[in-house]
Each structure stands twice: as structure tokens, then as C-alpha cells.
Amino acid sequence: MAPIAYVTLLGRSPWAVVNTYYKVLKEGKGKREIRRVYVFTEERYRNLLPKVVKAIEAISKAYNLRPRIETVVIKDYGFFEADRKFKELFTKLEREGYRIGLDITSGRKALVAAAIVQIREFPVSFIVYMGLLDMDFPDRPYMMIPTHMQPIKNFLGDGDEAR
């Protein structure tokens, strides 16, 4: 099976990125194929990147994974820049034999739209969004939130769960 490059979009909620990554690894198929992780964010959220990268490293290590983690910072409201950077990354990943897993849970509209528009032409493993049904739990680790309050949807099918 081809390796997966996991692309996640960081907006105002670092927990949304971290918890979705955890759930994909915990319950999703293809988790052993994740070899790279790319965290895209806008300039205004740059300060959240070190914590998110550290959390992704810790979760990956718990699953005996050692993905290369890279971050990409787009200027605020950088629609055109985001569009170009996603196309460049997806083209490179396809050339290197990767399938792409995209997490749009925490992303802001400009990044989500650019990523989805660009990913159409590339080998995609999944596009996931994890909901949070009760806003009493916004800033907690996945294990501290009732599972039924965190539904995940794979927009490419495969049921309601990203498995």
C-alpha cells in the first residue's frame, strides 16, 4: 500500500487538529502508512504550531510512528498563496508515490477551500472532519471527551467514520 501524507489545517483550535489526528490513528485504517504530516496554518495562528507539532510527535510515537512533520504558514487571507502551495505540495507528493489524507476540522475557510479544490486531481486516501457536538468540551484531549460527542466523517465515503 502506498504511504500516506497526512495534511491538516490549523485554525483557532489546536485541540481540533490533535484530537482528529489521534482518532484517525486510533480508529482509522491506513494509519501505519502515515509517513509525513504537514500542518498548514495562517500567520495569525503561527504561535500554536510548536504545541501542535509536539502533540503530533507524541501521539505518533505512541503508535510507533515517526512521520516527518513539516509546517507551512500562509499569510492571513492568503487565498492565492494557499492555492499555489497546496498544488505544489500535492504534485510533489504524487510524484513521490504518496496518497493524501486531508483533515479539514480546524481549518479556516480560505485554507479548506484551497485544499479541497487542489486535491481533486491527486490520489486521496481520505478527507475527514471531526465534529464536536457539545461545546462544553472544546479544549480537552480526545480521551476526556465522550466518544459519541466526537463524530468523524470521511467525505470520500467508507461509512461515517474515517476508518
**In this predicted model, what pLDDT tens digit does every residue of 117-141 receive, in sequence order?**
999 999 999 999 887 666 666 665 5
Greater model confidence, 101 or 148: 101
Distances (CA, A) of 114 to 21, 30, 72, 137: 21, 25, 14, 29
Residue 103 φ/ψ, nearest 5 degrees: -110, 115
Q: How confident is the model over 50-74, as pLDDT tens digits?
A: 999 999 999 999 999 999 999 999 9
Neighbours of 101 (CB within 10 A): 26
- How many CA atoms lie within 13 Å of 80's alpha carbon, on the beta-carbon side? 0
Please state the pTM of the whole predicted model. 0.89
CATH architecture under which domain 4-154 falls? 3-Layer(aba) Sandwich (3.40)
CA distance 3 to 66: 13
CA distance 26 to 57: 15
